[in-house]
């Protein structure tokens, strides 16, 4: 179900604003009910995929990210569904980035960014059977752009974890409940006849439980940001 704070604007061709408008900081007006017709002789340089608060997400950016398989594709996922998932992920990034800009940047280490890009490059080669540079060229993107995308995403990941991580606490009762529940069930599914003593695996379980609680808190926080921000998604 689509979150109530996001509404799709009816009509094809609504987002015909030029990139130049975004470049000078113009704030898009709410889309009209009827599609606007470009003036005679006008050249559409780009289209708006979504507006998050005062931030614009351009269709060209979504096409580039989809073109290089920035996110792993789900089995049997159509191109349209994959494009929409890329856009949804970018909206979440923009929502979080608005908060990051208020508190200062978090710069990931260069070698960590390079390692993430290398992992993406290996995945693309494995899944598509062609070099990343070939895929980038076909998508109209550059390696520098891809590196910037990856760097931005890593900065947001670090910010979210540093912001919410300290609030996550685990109790011995939660660890024991996980040991007696999901941990035991997974062991049985793997055919293990006996479990290691709780004391031997409690710290590993603590990390798992903490990660699950952190992910739930991240989702709650993101939904709060979404509810507080006007988000428009334009139909293609």
Q: What is the pLDDT of residues 147-162, one digit of tens each?
A: 999 998 998 888 888 8
pLDDT of res. 37: 57
**What pTM was computed for the model?**
0.70
Contacts of the segment 170-179: beta carbons below 8 A, 24+ positions apart = 170/206, 170/209, 170/210, 170/213, 174/209, 175/202, 175/205, 175/206, 175/209, 178/205, 178/208, 178/209, 179/205
- Percent of the chain exceeding pLDDT 90 equals 62
Q: Please write the tens of the pLDDT for every residue from 4-26.
A: 333 333 333 333 332 323 333 33
Cα–Cα distance list, 112 to 90, 151, 155, 163, 201 (Å): 21, 9, 11, 20, 29
Class of domain 6-168+211-234: mainly alpha
Query: Average pLDDT of 110-120?
Result: 95
Reference 179, options 160, 165, 195; nearest CA is 195
pLDDT of res. 76: 92
Query: Average pLDDT of 113-134?
Result: 94
pLDDT of res. 38: 59
pLDDT of res. 7: 37
With 0-12 / 13-18 / 19 or more C-beta atoms within 10 angstroms meaning exposed / middle / buried, residue 64 is buried
110 has a pLDDT exceeding 70: yes
């Amino acid at each position: 179900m689509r979150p109530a704070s996001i509404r799709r604007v009816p009509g094809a061709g609504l987002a015909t604003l030029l990139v130049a408008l975004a470049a000078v900081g113009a704030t898009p007006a709410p889309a009209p009910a009827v599609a606007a017709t470009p003036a005679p002789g006008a050249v559409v340089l780009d289209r708006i995929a979504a507006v998050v608060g005062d931030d614009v997400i351009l269709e060209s950016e979504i096409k580039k990210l989809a073109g290089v398989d920035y996110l792993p594709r789900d089995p049997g996922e159509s191109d349209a569904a994959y494009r929409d998932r890329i856009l949804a992920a970018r909206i979440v990034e923009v929502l979080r980035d608005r908060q990051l800009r208020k508190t200062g940047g978090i710069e990931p280490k260069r070698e960590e960014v390079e390692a993430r890009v290398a992992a993406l490059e290996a995945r693309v080669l494995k899944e598509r059977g062609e070099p990343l540079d070939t895929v980038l060229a076909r998508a109209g993107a550059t390696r520098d752009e891809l590196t910037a995308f990856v760097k931005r995403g890593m900065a947001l990941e670090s910010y979210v974890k540093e912001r919410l991580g300290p609030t996550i606490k685990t109790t011995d009762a939660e660890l024991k409940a996980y040991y007696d529940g999901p941990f035991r069930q997974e062991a049985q599914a793997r055919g293990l006849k006996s479990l290691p003593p709780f004391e031997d695996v409690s710290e590993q379980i603590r990390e798992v439980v903490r990660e699950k609680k952190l992910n739930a808190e991240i989702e709650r926080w993101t939904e709060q940001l979404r509810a507080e921000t006007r988000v428009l998604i334009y139909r293609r």
